[in-house]
Amino acid sequence: MEELYAEYTKSERYLLILLSVMTGVTILIALFGIYAMITLACNRQRKEIAIRKVNGAKAREVFLLFFRRYFIITLFSCIVAFPVGGYIMQRWLEQYTRRVEMEWWLFTGIFVLITLIVFVSIFSRVSRAAKENPAKVVKSE
């Protein structure tokens, strides 16, 4: 019975490899997209960041302004994506006799990882923008 099951799941292992590679590529594209979106927003708002800095805002306050905005986007996208992904995975797993239950901590871990990536991206770009001389930024705009 084990040999028959192993033969049956052989095509599934190839599908797993293919899906793993495609998932890796998709994650890389998403990471570049998040970083590019944050970079574009920082470049568009360079003057605003400089004026806030002149008026006494700390780099932390500017960071929180950006982080709040992108955290809401991340939260909304996860609220939409997790139920859809969970439903599709549940339907796919129903065809197997040996089932694996999807745990809630998996989705929580994904959300934390995405939030961490957004946090690091925002931190790197906003810290660079906050270190610029406000006079040069306003003069160049």
At residue 68, the pLDDT reads: 92
pLDDT at 29 over 90: yes
**Mean pLDDT, rounded, for 55-84:** 90
* Percent of the chain's residues with pLDDT above 70: 99
Mean pLDDT within 46-57: 86
Paired tokens of 42: 């920082």
Alpha helix positions (H), the chain: 2-8, 10-44, 46-54, 59-93, 104-130, 134-140
According to DSSP, residue 103 is labeled P
CB 54 within 8 A of CB 134: yes
More confident residue, 5 or 60: 60
Q: Are 109 and 15 in contact (CB under 8 A)?
A: no
pTM for the model stands at 0.74
Per-residue 3-state assignment (H helix, E strand, C coil) for 43-61 = HHCHHHHHHHHHCCCCHHH
Predicted local confidence at residue 128, as pLDDT: 85
pLDDT, tens digit, for every residue of 32-42? 888 898 889 88
| DSSP helix/strand/coil, 96 | coil
Residue 7 has pLDDT above 80, yes or no: no
| pLDDT: which is higher, 127 or 22 | 22
Residue 6 has pLDDT above 80, yes or no: no
